[in-house]
Amino acid sequence: MAVVSEPGKEMYALVERLYPLCRSITGDGVRATLDIVGEYLPLQVHEVPTGTPVLDWTVPREWNIRDAYVADAAGDRVIDFAASNLHVLGYSVPVAGTMPLAELRAHLHTLPDQPTLVPYRTSYYAPTWGFCLAQEVLDALPEGDYEVRVDSTLADGHLTYAEHVVPGQVPDEVIVSCHVCHPSLANDNLAGIAVATFLARALAERSPYYTYRFIYAPGTIGAITWLARNAERIDRVRHGLVLACAGDSGSLTYKRSRRGDAEIDRVMGHVLTTSQRPHEVREFTPYGYDERQYCSPGFDLGVGSLTRTPYAGYPEYHTSADNLDLVSPDAMADTLAVCREAFAVLDRNRRYRNLSPYGEPQLGRRGLYDALGGRSDTKQAQMAMLWVLSLSDGEHGLLDVAERAGLPFDTVAAAADALRDAGLITT
């Protein structure tokens, strides 16, 4: 039986806490989610008023819900928001009344091909109301009148998002983004939030080279709002990663940035390959999560997306089966480990300049060969030094060296450290 890591246990516990909350693109569910994340990390929370122009969009009205149900003639709730927040169409406007099943059907959403599951459905920008339920429950409802009630508000308010910054040695930034707008969906939403949170904590334990900015925002409109409000910071963003679907049992999937050859794309490909984890690398498509906003042509940021089973790729996706049983501590711990490995490479991938470029410098008299004595990888470490010296022309980074030489990045980085300390290379 696998031994569950402590970070895995803690991330799962965070998912458990967040799971019952009813989130949407605005509202108190988002604030409650950020309040809990704020117990793990200091967050800067932003409230953007309804009606604020954000790029080609406008911040919508704020939605909140207290209760919703459909009750039969005996007063029994046959569909109940209190039992699952997926039972209500997201952004449903208020309704109260009685109507026959024939009329009610137009407002009911099911999955005929998955008759035991409740779908997740929303209607953010077309005011309406509705309920979601299992097809087998709908099939069992007798004809007759039903009481229908949605106790919600849709009014001017705010869109809420939050940021956490891990200071680096340089102001150049890496953004890590996750969406906080889904209700009780454990993998598509909450696992990404948990991995992002514990990644931020892990980065804070060392002194990273880059400044890391973590963005917790509603999908699409949240990322668009962040981009609109941070135009002056965009030129600082060197790399980025969107995290989602981070806790299921599938193998890891990396989706490249729109550029296709951004440094984060190369780093993620290198780490996944050399780790020998089962994985897939996919090309960019303008559909999916918020990488499509960060990679839109006007910004063209080098932002990729890391998931386990990707967007819409598992049968539980956007259904009531995306529950706490679908995610595991081990899977989240593995996703976190890959992120940490990738950012360690990103942070150390420097370009160096050889300070003794005319012929091969004498390494022995500088004690560099002696320093390798007794190592099991002496020959590999020696070759790494020679490769670093050869490619330290100010044009090649250490990842270039590792790839061309066919050597582990850590070995190349250690060689670079030794050569720098000996005064043979400089950034």
DSSP line for 385-415: HHHHHHHTEEEEEHHHHHHHHT--HHHHHHH
Q: Can you tell me the mean pLDDT for 18-28?
A: 98
Buried b (16+ CB within 10 A) or exposed e, 129-142: bbbbbbbeebeebe
Name which of 220, 238, 217, 209 is nearest 301 in CA terms: 238
Q: E strands along 211-294, which residues?
A: 211-217, 237-243, 252-255, 279-282
pLDDT in tens, 30-55: 999 999 999 999 999 999 999 999 99
Of 96-110, 225-239, 320-334, 353-367, least confident by mean pLDDT is 353-367
pLDDT band at 380 (very low <50, low <70, confident <90, very high): confident
- Look at residue 365 in the predicted model and tell me its pLDDT: 83
Side-chain-facing half-sphere of 178: CA atoms under 13 Å? 30
- Domain 6-60+158-347 and domain 351-426, same fold? Reply is no
Contact between residue 355 and residue 425 where contact means Cβ atoms under 8 Å apart: yes
CATH of 62-155, one of 3.40.190.10, 3.40.640.10, 3.50.30.90, 1.20.120.530: 3.50.30.90
Q: Is the pLDDT of residue 224 over 90?
A: yes
pLDDT tens for each residue of 301-351: 999 999 999 999 999 999 999 999 999 999 999 999 999 999 999 999 999
| Contact of 347 with 213, CB cutoff 8 Å | no
Q: What pLDDT score does 3 carry?
A: 54
Cβ atoms 320, 182 nearer than 8 A: no
Which tens digit of pLDDT belongs to each residue from 393-421? 999 999 999 999 999 999 999 999 999 99
Domain boundaries, the chain: 6-60+158-347, 62-155, 351-426
Tell whether residue 182 is among the known ligand binding residues: yes
Q: What is the pLDDT of residues 95-147, one digit of tens each?
A: 999 999 999 999 999 999 999 999 999 999 999 999 999 999 999 999 999 99
- Per-residue pLDDT, averaged over 62-82, amounts to 98
CA distance 146 to 176: 46
Q: Average model confidence (pLDDT) for the chain?
A: 95
Percent of the chain with pLDDT over 90: 92
Residue 299: CB partners within 8 Å, gap ≥ 6?
A: 227, 234, 293
Structure confidence at residue 1 as a pLDDT band (50, 70, 90): very low
**C-alpha to C-alpha distance for 37 and 162, rounded to whole angstroms:** 10
pLDDT of 69 above 90: yes
**Across 228-245, average pLDDT:** 96
Helix, coil or strand: residue 134: coil
Instruction: Assign a CATH topology to domain 351-426.
Output: Arc Repressor Mutant, subunit A (1.10.10)
Q: Say whether pLDDT at 294 is over 70.
A: yes
**What percent of the chain shows pLDDT beyond 70?**
97
Residue 378: what pLDDT? 72
Q: Is 318 one of the annotated binding-site residues?
A: yes
Give the CATH class of 6-60+158-347. alpha beta
Q: Are 48 and 29 in contact (CB under 8 A)?
A: no
Could you tell me the pLDDT band of residue 363, with boundaries at 50, 70 and 90? confident
Least confident of 155-169, 269-283, 309-323, 352-366: 352-366
